[in-house]
A and B are shown apart, each in its own frame.
Chain A
Amino acid sequence: MGLRTIHLKIHKPGKLKREIIQKAFENYNNAFNYLLKTAFDNIDDIESNYKSPKGTYSTLSLSKWIDSRISNELNNFDVQPFKDSLKLDFGMTMASYFAQKQTKPDMVFPNFRQDNVQVNEKLRPIYFCRYDTKRSFCLLYDPDSNKYFAKLFLMNIKNAKVRKIAANNRELIYISKSPEPAKSLKRETFIIVPLSFGKWQEDMLSQAVERPEILRTARLLWKNNEYFLSMSINLPEEQEIKTTTFMGVSRGIRNDINYTIADEKGNSITKGSLENCKNTKDRKQIICKMANTIADIALKNKSMVILQNLVGKGDKLSWREEGTVHKPAYGCKMYNDLVRVLDYKLPQKGLPVPAKVSSVDIFHTCCVCGSNTRKNRFSETLFICTTCGASYSMDELGSRNLAVKLIKYEKTTFKLKARKTPEGMFLNNELIGLDMFVHKNENPYDRLKEEVKSLLDKKEDSYINSKLNYKDIKIILDKLVKSDFVNIEII
C-alpha cells in the first residue's frame, strides 16, 4: 500500500491548549522565516557548496547548512522542540527550490517576511520529523473507550507547563513497541489532545496499535480556526489481486455515475448506476464516497477499472433539444477529481491503477456492431443503432463501451499495406515508418520479424519525423511481438 497520509482533527482543544498551539505556530513560522531570510543572503554559496557531484540537491545535505551558529540563533524563537524538524523542513524546501530552478531558471525564491509573522496570516504547518514518545510527537490510546490522543511536544523547558488535571483519570497507553501507560510530569513540554476521525482513519490507527513501526512523520495544520494532525503512515503493500473482469465507469446523463462489468470475453456480467451521497454537499466527500463505492464493487468482482480520459477531448454526452441543453451530472472537472481519487483508492485495495482511455465516441458507438455515428443517438437518454437496431440507455452504453475497450485494443490488428510485384512484395505501414520489400524467394514473416527487431533497436531520435511518437510506436511494435506476429491485417 505504501506511504499514506491520514488527517486527524484535534478535538475541541481548550483555551490554554489553543494558546500553546498558537504560540508554537508563531515560533515555528518565525524560525523558518529566519532560516529562509538567512539562506537568501547566502543563496549562491548554498547553491554551489551543497550540490552533489551528480548535480542534484538532497534534503539531508541542505539541512546541514544549518550549523551550530544558526542553530543557536534559532533558540531565540523558543523552537528547541522543533529544531531537527526545522532543519529537515528547510532542507526539503531548498531542495525543491533548486530542483525547480534547474528546469526553470527564473524560479522565484520561497517567500519570506522581513519582520515577524502575524498570527492571523496563513501559517506554515509545524513539521514533526519523527515518531517518538519522548520528543517530537506520538500517539496514545485509551483501550477502554477506544479513543486516540496525540502527544505533541510544542514547548521548550523554559515555557513548560504544569498540568492541573490528569486527563479524566483515564489511563492512556503509548502506541509504541513498548506500550506503557503515559505518566504525568511536574512540568510538561508537551500537550495531549484528543483526536476525532472517521472509520477509515480508525482502521489505520488500529493497525498502528498492532504495528507502531508504521507511524512516521506528521504536520500540525491550522485551517478554519481548527487544528489537524496530518500523519504519514507506511503501510505494507497489499497483496495484488489478479483481476478477472473489466469494470467500465462512465459519467451519465440521467444517473451520476454508471458502471458495467464485463468478463474477459467482453460479455456484460452486471451493470448499475451510482448516485451521489445525499447527506452532504461537500464535493470532496461526495467524490470520496463515490470512489469508495466503485472500489468496493471493483474489489468484489476482481475488476480492472477502466475510466474515461476527459483531459483534452470530451465525450459529447451533453444533449441539446428544443433549446435546452441537458448536461451530465458530473462535469469534466468533477469526473477528473473522481479519477484522481480512484487512482489511489484502487491500489489501496490491491487492485491495479485504473486505466484511462479515450472517451471519444463511447456514447455514439454501438457495442454490438461497432457502428460509430452521432445519428445513433436518438434522444437525451436513448441510443438506437442505425446499423443493427440495438438499443441502449445512453448511460449504460458509455460504461459498457469502456468495459470492453481494453479487450478491443488487444484484438486490434496491425495493418500492413501489401503490393505484389513479379519480383516480390512491398510491405508498408506509414504510422510506424515500416517500408520494406520481400523478395519472392524470402519468407515474408521472417523478414518482417527482422525488420521489426531493427525498428525496436532504433534510438528515439530516429523517430523524430514519424507520424507517431517513439512511445506509441514502441507500444505497437511490442504488441506485435507479443502476439507473435499473428495479429496482422493485410490491406
Chain B
Amino acid sequence: MSLYIDVSYESINKYREELCGDKVEIIRSPDSVVVVLADGLGSGVKANILATLTSKIIGTIMSNGLDIEEAVNTVAKTLPVCKERGVAYSTFSIIQIFNNGEGYLAEFDNPSVVRLRKGKMLNLETESRVVNDKLIKEARFKVSPDDLFVMISDGVIHAGIGQTLNLGWQWDNVSEYIQKTYKKDASSKTLAKLLLSACDNLYSHEPGDDTTVVTLKAKKPVKLNLMIGPPVDSTRDDEIVSRFIGNEGKKVICGGTTSQIVARVLGKEIKTSIEYFNPAVPPTAEIEGINLTTEGVLTLRKTLDLLKACVSPESGMGDMLKLNKKDGASRLAKMLLEESTSIYFFVGRAMNPAHQNPEFPLNMGMKFKLVEELAALLTHTGKHISIEYC
C-alpha cells in the first residue's frame, strides 16, 4: 500500500506578539514524512527560539532514522536555559508516517493528537517511558487511507477561556468539533484553517496564547492531468491527446483551441455553458470523459490568484470557501489543491493567434510563467508535479 500524506499547519500568534512560540517542522523523505510540533516555554522571541531549536533538532534526528531517546537527549543538552525559570523547556509532538502505512507518535506535554478514521474518533493506545527525566508517550500504529491526525498546541484548548467560554475549549470539545467538521473531500489545509479560525473566533481575535493546528490526512494518491494549449506540432495532436486521455487520473483542459483539438480527436461534442457564475471568469464547457473544460489564460490566472490566497499564511477560511464556487477557476483551483496528490501538466507550445494582437495583454511567455508559478505553488503544498512541454 502506498499512501500520500497531505500535511498542513496553521498558527496564530499570541495577541500583540510578533513571533509565534509554536513551531512546525515537516520533513518529507522518499519513504516517510516526519512532522514535529514544538511549543516553546512562554511567548515571543524566547519561545520562538526554543520551539525552533526543538523542532529542527527532533525533525532532523527522526528523519535520519534515529531514536526518540537520542532526540530528547540532544534537545535537553542544546536548549538555552531560561533565566527566569532556570529550565530549558519546549513541549512537542512528533508524528512519522511511512509510505507503507506504518506510523509512529511521540508526545511530550502537548495535548494528545486527535485521530479520526473515516470521520470517527479512533483512540491511539500510547505507552509511557521516561527519557532524560521527561515522560514521553509513544504509540506505533497502522495508517489507512482517510485517516486524519490533528496535532494541536495548548493554545487550541485554551481558546475562549474567560471570554466566550468559562473554562476554554476542552480537548473533548476540540475532538467533537473536528468530527463535526470532517468532510471526506476536505484537504488538510482546509481542516487546519477551519479549526484555527474557530480558535481565533473563540479568542475574539485576541489570542491569549500561541495557537497551532497541524493536520495530516492519509490519502490514496490521486492523479490529475492538465492540458494547456495546443501542441506546437499539429501533426502530434492525436498522439498527445491519446497520451493525455490514456493517463491515469482526472482530466482537465484549459483553452478553447485545446478543447476543440481534444474534442476533434476523441470525436466528442463540446457543450458550452451559458452560466456566468463570476463575470471575471469565462464560462466552462463540457466534453464527455473530461472532468473540467475551461477557457485558457484568464482562467489560469484567476486559478493562480485563488491558490495564492489559499496558501498564504495570512489567508482565512473565507479564501478556502471561495474554492466551493462554481466558476471554472474556482473548480480548477479546488481540483488542484484539494482533490489531487500528483499533477501532470501537458503544456502546448503552439502560438495562439489571439495572442498575436499587440493590444492583447497576454503572450506565450506569460502562459509559461503562469504554469511555472502554478507548479511551484503546488510543489510547495506537497504535490508531486510533472511538466511536459509539447
A202 to chain B, nearest CB (A): 44
Specify the chain B residue showing the minimal Cβ separation from A420: B274
Choose among B173, B194, B276 the residue that contacts A388 (Cβ–Cβ < 8 A).
B194
A464 to B6, CA, bound (A): 56
In the assembled complex, the Cα of A418 lies from the Cα of B273 at a distance in Å of 10
Does residue A491 face the partner (Cβ distance < 8 Å to B)? Answer: yes
Tell whether, in the assembled complex, residue A388 and residue B318 are in contact, meaning their CB atoms are under 8 Å apart: yes
**For residues 408 through 460 of chain A, which have their beta carbon under 8 Å from a beta carbon of chain B?**
418, 420, 425
What total of chain A residues lie within 8 Å of the partner, measured CB to CB?
A: 19
Segment with Cβ contacts to B, from A47-55, A184-192, A231-239, A378-386: A378-386
Contact B180 A375 (CB under 8 A): yes
Could you say which residues of chain B place their CB within 8 Å of the CB of A389? Answer: 193-201, 317
The reply to whether the CB of B275 lies closer than 8 angstroms to some CB of chain A is yes
| Cβ contact within 8 Å between A387 and B321 | yes
Q: Which A residues are CB-close (under 8 A) to B194?
A: 386-389
**Shortest CB–CB separation between residue B154 and chain A, in angstroms?**
19
Across the interface, name the chain A residue whose C-beta is closest to B177: A384
Partner of B197, one of A388, A393, A425, A491: A388
Residues of B within 8 A of A390 (CB): 197-198, 201
What's the nearest-Cβ distance from chain B to residue A377, in Å?
A: 10
Complex Cα–Cα for A425 and B273 (A): 12
Q: How far is the CA of A375 from the CA of B195 in the complex (A)?
A: 15
Contact B321 A386 (CB under 8 A): no
By a CB distance below 8 angstroms, the chain B residues around A241 are none
Contact A382 B164 (CB under 8 A): yes
Known interface pairs A378-B177, A490-B275, A491-B275. Does A391 touch B164 (Cβ–Cβ under 8 Å)? yes
Q: Which residue of B lies closest to A370 (CB)?
A: B321
A4 to chain B, nearest CB (A): 44
**Closest chain A residue to B201, Cβ basis:** A391
Q: Mark A345-383, 1 if CB is under 8 A from B, else 0.
A: 000000000000000000000001100000100100010
A84 to B201, CA, bound (A): 69
Nearest-CB residue, chain A, relative to B276: A490
0/1 per residue, B219-259, Cβ < 8 Å to A?
Answer: 00000000000000000000000000000000000000000
**Cα separation A97 to B254 with both chains bound (whole Å):** 76
Instruction: Tell me the minimal C-beta distance from A412 to chain B in angstroms.
Output: 16
Q: How far is the CA of A393 from the CA of B177 in the complex (A)?
A: 16
Chain A residue numbers with a CB within 8 Å of B152 are: none
Closest to B317 in A: A388
A384 touching B202, Cβ below 8 Å: yes
B317, chain A: closest CB distance, angstroms: 4
Contact at A418–B274, with CB atoms within 8 Å? yes
> Which residues on the A side are within 8 Å of B195 (C-beta)?
389
- B275/A382 in contact, CB under 8 A: no
Chain B residues whose C-beta falls within 8 Å of the C-beta of A375 in the assembled complex: 180
List A461-491 residues whose CB lies under 8 Å from chain B.
Answer: 490-491
Q: List 13 A-B contacts (CB under 8 A).
A: A378-B173, A378-B177, A386-B194, A388-B194, A388-B197, A388-B318, A389-B193, A389-B198, A389-B317, A391-B164, A391-B201, A418-B274, A420-B274
Can you add 9 more A-B contacts, CB < 8 Å, to A389-B198, A389-B201, A420-B274? A382-B164, A384-B202, A386-B180, A387-B181, A389-B196, A389-B200, A389-B317, A391-B198, A418-B274
What is the interface of chain A, defined by CB distance below 8 A to chain B? 368-369, 375, 378, 382, 384-391, 393, 418, 420, 425, 490-491
Closest 3 CB pairs of A and B: A389-B197, A389-B198, A391-B201
